[in-house]
A = this chain, B = another copy of it.
Amino acid sequence: MISERKIWKEKFGEWFRKVIAEAGILDYRYPIKGCGVWLPYGFKLRRNILGIIRKLLDESGHEEMLFPLLIPEDLFARESMHIKGFEEEAYWVTHGGSTKLSVKMALRPTSETVITPMAKLWIRSHADLPLKIYQIASIFRYETKATKPLIRVREVTTFKEAHTFHASHEDALKQVREAIKIYKKFFDEIGIPYIVSQRPEWDKFAGAVSSYAFDTVLPDGRTLQIGTVHDLGQSFAKAFDLTFETTIGGREHVWQTSYGISERGIAAVLILHGDDHGLVLPPNIAPIQVIIIPIPYKDMEELVNEAGKKVENELKEGGVRVKLDVRSDITPGSKFYEWEMRGVPLRIEVGPRDIKERKVTFVRRDNFEKLSCEESELVEKTKSLLADTRENLRKRAGEWLNLHICKAKSLDEAKKLIDSDFGIVQVPWCGKKECGLEIERGVNARVLGVPSAKEKVAGNCVVCSQKGEFLVRLAQAY
């Protein structure tokens, strides 16, 4: 499978820009760099993907809410590490009309400093804990690096951030594990492979005790962080003096976590499943699952359109998201091109022979396999092909990631692999910060972090040669 996507891999940046525009996902020609417009087809895909994460969060006891965008400077600056990490990334509102505001306000780059002071109004005792909430909203980051559609933008239009509050560190850590589990389910649902790493001390979320991240590998060998989970300890609770009455009557600071995913998850779907012909959308999130294209022969236009209509109705009744393309001003070939570009997982062609033989002809988008079935098996066959497509996409994306994670024994070897755009390279590391930074410098790449504790392995640190406690993951990262 992978080899078929070779051309696409080599020029993937160009491919991505072209495809999201041509497929009607986003238009980035808005005059502010890093701000795009969700087009109708893209908006529907986004809605379907958000439906999956909403369901997972609702089912696990999270409540959806909506918080203000603007953060007064004094609130935003309350937690010292947080403001240090975010102050150069925030956009500032300084004027209302021509009036200078007495307190300037940041556009939220994340909402810890919005939500913690509100939680302080809601949490009084242990009986109010745990509190698990989330919102889906736009966040803003003043990006000075080159922007890239959905990956490095200034308005992140699709940020899902969850915030939880707990009576003990233990309970918060349990929540961190639940969050990782929820995100695993989410990425599995949309067929995106991932590796979960605990980020190194020097690359944690600003204000966190520890940060865990989901990374995947893009066709150019660079990793994309697609989700993060943070144990916030009591940092924000202390900064905002958020306390609760314990079961024995004292007061203690609340323990917090936060975890977020963004439109980078959508980018991963578009990029990792796509091919030279355009997008290939997993059927469970595709706005259109089946496109029906009548193949007209002279004097038979009406007949094939009617047969197409019949197929459409039957699939609709079967609960399939289906569209019949009856445009008469373009050829079936052009329609093939357009719907392949847009990633519709299954095409049905309806021609005179199909009608005569009472057959249905399918073409799968993922592997272009042509198949047919009896008319009577239409709905059943469609569903099984959609299920197969989904599984195949998940599998081939998973294989892609596996092929791009390896181990190296020395810094030199690691550097060579990373320079050749291999993907994620792992080397033994003693766990000390100075060696970690030395590794980063040595390979000119980023330390993604280490696997969870139980995967600890032996090996000599590539810097200090002491016994390594971890295999640390390195990559060129977006």
Q: Is the CB of B97 within 8 A of A32?
A: no
Chain B residues with Cβ under 8 A from A36's Cβ? 68
Render A27-65 as a binary contact track against B, CB cut-off 8 A, 1 for contact.
101111001111110011010000000000000000111
A422 CB → nearest B CB, Å? 34
Find the B residue at minimum CB distance from A34: B68
Q: How far is the CB of A74 from chain B (nearest CB, A)?
A: 8
B38–A66 CB distance below 8 A: yes
Residues of B within 8 A of A69 (CB): 138, 140, 155
Is A118 among interface residues, defined by CB-CB distance under 8 A?
A: yes
Q: Is A94 among interface residues, defined by CB-CB distance under 8 A?
A: yes
Q: Scan residues 86-127 of chain A and give those whose CB is less than 8 A from a CB of chain B.
A: 87-99, 105, 107, 114, 117-118, 121
A70 touching B40 in the complex, CB below 8 Å, given contacts A30-B118, A90-B97, A97-B89: no
Query: Within the assembled complex, what's the spacing in Å between the Cα atoms of A253 and B36?
Result: 25
| B37 contacts A66, C-beta separation under 8 Å | yes
A47 to chain B: closest residue by CB: B64
Q: Which residues from B are CB-within-8-Å of A30?
A: 67-68, 114, 117-118
- A197 CB to nearest chain B CB (Å): 28
| Closest chain B residue to A143, Cβ basis | B96
In the bound complex, do residue A70 and residue B37 qualify as a contact, i.e. CB atoms below 8 Å apart? no
State whether A40 touches B65 (Cβ < 8 A). yes
**Is B32 within 8 A of A105, CB to CB?**
yes
Closest Cβ–Cβ distance, residue A131 to chain B (whole Å) = 10
Which residues from chain B contact A114 at a C-beta distance below 8 Å? 30
Of the listed residues A63, A72, A96, the one surrounded by the most CB atoms of chain B closer than 10 A to its CB is: A96
Question: Considering only CB atoms, which chain B residue lies closest to A97 in the complex?
Answer: B88
Query: In the complex, are the beta carbons of A66 and B93 less than 8 A apart?
Result: no
| Nearest-neighbor residue (CB-CB) of A98 within chain B | B88
- A37 neighbours in B (Cβ, 8 Å): 65-68, 118
Check if A133 is an interface residue, CB within 8 A of chain B: yes
| A37→B31 CA distance, assembly (Å) | 31
The interface residues of chain B lying within 8 Å CB-to-CB of A107 are 93
When A92-B95, A95-B91 are in contact, do A68 and B27 touch as well, CB less than 8 Å? no
Which of A68, A87, A91, A138 is the most central at the interface, judged by chain B CB atoms within 10 Å of its CB?
A: A68
Q: Do A32 and B88 have beta carbons less than 8 Å apart?
A: no
Task: Establish whether residues B70 and A32, one from each chain, have CB atoms under 8 Å apart when the complex forms.
Answer: yes
Scan A225-262; emit 1 where CB is below 8 A from any B CB, else 0: 00000000000000000000000000000000000000
State the CA gap A37–B114 with chains docked (Å): 10
Residues of chain A touching chain B, judged by Cβ–Cβ distance below 8 Å, are 27, 29-32, 35-40, 43-44, 46, 63-70, 72, 75, 87-99, 105, 107, 114, 117-118, 121, 133, 138, 140, 142, 144, 154-155, 157
Ordered by A's residue number, 28 sampled pairs between the chains whose C-beta atoms are within 8 Å are: A30-B117, A31-B72, A32-B105, A35-B68, A35-B70, A37-B65, A37-B67, A38-B67, A40-B63, A40-B133, A43-B65, A69-B138, A69-B140, A70-B91, A87-B97, A87-B98, A88-B97, A89-B97, A90-B96, A91-B95, A92-B95, A92-B96, A93-B94, A93-B107, A94-B95, A96-B142, A97-B142, A138-B138
